[in-house]
Amino acid sequence: MNREVDHHHHTRRPTTTAAFAAGVVLNLAFVVVEAVFGVLSDSLALLTDAGHNLSDVLGLLLAWGAAALAGKRPSTRRTYGYSRATIIASLFSGLLLMGAVGAIGWEAFNRLLEPAEPAGKTIMIVAAIGVVINTATALLFLSGKDSDLNIRGAFLHMAADAACPWAWSPRAR
Ligand SMILES: [Zn+2]
C-alpha cells in the first residue's frame, strides 16, 4: 500500500473515465448474460458468479467515484483534497469481494452436501465470454494502473478474474 506516497493532484485523464464507463457497461452486460443462462440451465455456478460480477460492477463504480473525487482540487474546507476517497473505496470493494467469496463458499459447501448435475457446456461457453470480457476490462486499466490505487486494484482484480474460469470450469456446476 506504499503507492500513496504520490500526492500530486493531477487532473484525471479522460481515458480514466472512458475506461471505467466501458468496464461498467461490459461487466453489467456479462452479469445479465450469466443471470439469464444461470436461470435457463439451473446453474448455481453461473448465478453465484453473476452475483460476484455484480459486486465487481459496484466495486468499479466505487473506484470510479473515488478516482473522480481524488482528481478534484483541494478546497478551503478539504485542504488535503480528496485523495483519501480512493483508499476508502479500495476498502469497500475489498469488503464487497469478501462478501462475494463468502456467498460462493457457502453455495459450494451446500453443493458438496447435495450434488447436482453440472451444466457443463453452457458454463464453458459463458466462462469463455467471461474471459474475453475480463481480459478486455483489465486492458482498459493497464495504462493507468501505476497512477491510482483503485485503477491498480481494478486491473489486478480483472486480470485475476480472467485467469480464474480455467481453474474451476471443468468441474463447475
Ligand atoms: Zn471479480
**pLDDT at position 132:** 94
Question: How wide is the angle at C-alpha 99 spanned by C-alphas 146 and 92, nearest 5°?
Answer: 40
pTM of the model: 0.68
Q: How many A from CA of 53 to the centre of ligand 1?
A: 6
Q: What is the dihedral of CA 129, 130, 136, 142, to 10 degrees?
A: -160
Q: How far apart are CA 94 and CA 64, in angstroms?
A: 15
Question: Which range among 73-87, 99-113, 127-141 shows the weakest confidence by mean pLDDT?
Answer: 73-87
Q: How many A from CA of 157 to the centre of ligand 1?
A: 6
Predicted confidence band of residue 76 (pLDDT cuts 50, 70, 90): low
Mean pLDDT of the chain: 79
Query: What is the third-level CATH fold of 3-172?
Result: Alpha-lytic protease prodomain-like (1.20.1510)
Q: How many A from CA of 26 to the centre of ligand 1?
A: 13
From residue 29, alpha-carbon distances to 23, 66, 139 in Å are 10, 23, 17
Predicted confidence band of residue 142 (pLDDT cuts 50, 70, 90): very high
Q: How far apart are CA 107 and CA 98, in angstroms?
A: 14
pLDDT of 159 higher than 80: yes
Q: How far apart are CA 59 and CA 168, in angstroms?
A: 23
Mean pLDDT of the 138-143 span? 93
